[in-house]
Each structure stands twice: as C-alpha cells, then as structure tokens.
Amino acid sequence: MTAQLEYPDIQDSDALLSVQGLWKVFGPKAQRVPHRPELAGLDRADLYAKTGCTAAVRDLSFDVAPGEVFVVMGLSGSGKSTLVRCLTRLIEPTAGRLVFEGEDLRAADEKRLRALRRSKFSMVFQHFGLLPHRKVIDNVSYGLEIRGESKPDRRRRAQEVIDLVGLAGNEHLYPEQLSGGMQQRVGLARALANDPDVLLFDEPFSALDPLIRREMQTEVVRLHREVGKTMVFITHDLSEALKLGDRILLMRDGAAVQLGTGDELVGAPADDYVREFVRDVQRADVLTLRWIARRPRDGEPLDGPELGPDVLVREATRLVLEADRPVKVVSNGTLLGVIGDEEILAVVADN
C-alpha cells in the first residue's frame, strides 16, 4: 500500500460528502506515515514496531451521495468509529481531504466547524448522552437552544420530531423513566431536531437487546423513507448493514476491503476475508435476479413470465418454481437472461 497524496478535482462531483485519501495515524511524528511509502505500506504490527504509530484509518477514499444510507462495517479495531469522528474533525485527520458540499472541511477554522456541526451534521452515539436532569422535550431541543433559537420555536420543532420518532406522550418524562429503546429514540429525535443534512450514527443500537435493536433498525428505515436524510451508519453487525445500507464499506485494520451494495458483497466478495464475513448470510434474501440470470439455451421458450433484475431471489422463488418455462429477467424492455428451477434452487439450497 502506498500513500495517496494527489486528489482529483471534484468540483463537478454529485457527492454530498467526499473522502479522499484519508489517514488517521496515532503516535509520534504521525505525519510522516502517509507521506513515506515505505511506512504507509507496512501492516499494523510492523508499523507499530518500526515507528510506535498506529494507523487507525488508512488511505480511505469514497463518496456519499445525497440521500444515501452509507454503512461502514467492520469488527472491533477496524477503524470505523475513528473514521466517523474524522468526518467532522472531532478527531483530526492526519492526511487526506474531506469535502462537504464543495467545501474543504480540513481548511475550516474552529468557528466554521462549530457552525457546521450545529447546522449540517448531527451524531447519534451508542451511549445516548442524554441530560438526566432534563425532560425529553428539553433534551430534544437542546441543540436548538445552543443555536440560540427562541423557546417557542425550539419547543415547536422538538414536538415535531418527538411525534416523528414515536415518542408522543413522553415529552415530560425524564431519561431514567424510559427504556433503552425509548432513550435511543430521544437521541434520534435530538439529532433530527437541528434538521441536519447528514446524520452520523456510531453503532447506536449495539447496547440494545435484539428485539429493540430490530425495532430501531426498522425505525431508521422508516425515517429515511419519510425525511430522506443522508446517513452514515457505523456498525459491526452484517445483518444490520444489509438491512440499512444502500452501499456498504467493509473495513479491516483501518483500510477498505470492499465497497459495494449488499448484494455485491454477498454475490461477488472481493477476497477470502469478505467471503468469510458473508458466509452465513441467507443469500436468497440478499441476492437479486441479476446475479443468477443466465443466457437462454438454444430453442428455449422465451414467452414465460417477466421479472425485473432487482427482484430478490426469495421473492421470485415461488413464481419460478411454479412456472412451466423459464422466467425472463427484463430491464427497460431488454432481456438480460432467464431463470429456471436450477438457478433458483442453487441459491436456496446454498442457505
């Protein structure tokens, strides 16, 4: 691995947030690591042995589109939580560029950063960080109070997002009177109250029990559908990543292993690490028909039912197995391929 120190012009990019060659190195003389190829190419153990430094984020580049749910996934120590804090410079990057709406965030001074964090970004943490002496409505409106908005305006906005996240009727309770799931809803409402452009989630549901966790995942899906916010979501849970993410960045030892949609990670893993990571996934619930369609055989009838390429294998199984001829996979009037019992059963049986 070598340091990436020259970046393309992104003025015409459609990305809301662009990360280019981002490094975060902890340790003495950290700045030298990204700039010296003989150090940048060392693995974690060798880098530490040679320099006393640890590269928590290594040469990461990706774009986040407006309205996208971008999931960063990895095991403990992969660098994902450091990355999300680098995005708003809560942790100062060592090298690379952060560009938000065309603005170089690394060039922003402290006053500008505070303004951006108050108006453009909101963060939801694993530990709720609620103020115990404040009622729900006052916790939710806290950011608006810091921003200097009038009490009537912040109460009105707080009530709107309290209703949105399903907390109506709990406005005047204190955090200690709420369950873990309800406390996290307060944290989510507080993040939404500022009407940010980007919501940053750092493993927000990992401390919740499985049932409440699934409920909160569904809540995020619903909220995204209703308000359309851009989201960067950090998790170590593959099922959570597949449920929430439009695209998923899988990290290992601070570096990117693979970036793609959920079906791309499952259907075309980049290496053995990704392959092992997705080994237990129910492939029929993730793969779409585009992954298993084949060319029609000579003389094969092409008058069977039609399905789109983005239909999940699970959703197509009954139709394919009940059809007396291959099912056509068609996109915008173009035949992409056909699917029969053999293709469907190969995926279903693999589960």
- Phi, psi of 23, rounded to the nearest 5 degrees: -125, 145
Across residues 214-233, what is the average pLDDT? 90
pLDDT in tens, 131-172: 999 999 999 999 888 888 899 999 999 999 999 988 999 999
Contact 105, 18 (CB under 8 A): no
Give me the pLDDT at residue 3, please: 37
CATH assignment, 284-350: 3.90.1280.20
In this prediction, residues 55-59 reach a mean pLDDT of: 97
For residue 129, pLDDT over 90 is answered with no
Say if 64-93+110-281 and 284-350 have the same CATH topology: no
Through-space distance between the first and last CA atoms of the chain, rounded to whole angstroms: 36
> Please, which residues have CB within 8 angstroms of residue 248's CB and are 6 or more apart in sequence?
71, 72, 73, 241, 242, 259, 260, 261, 262, 265
Confidence label for 11 from pLDDT (cuts 50, 70 and 90):
very low
Domain ranges for the chain = 64-93+110-281, 284-350
Rounded to whole angstroms, the Cα distance separating 9 from 294 reads: 40
**How far is the C-alpha of 37 from the C-alpha of 48, rounded, in Å?**
15
CATH topology of domain 64-93+110-281: Rossmann fold (3.40.50)
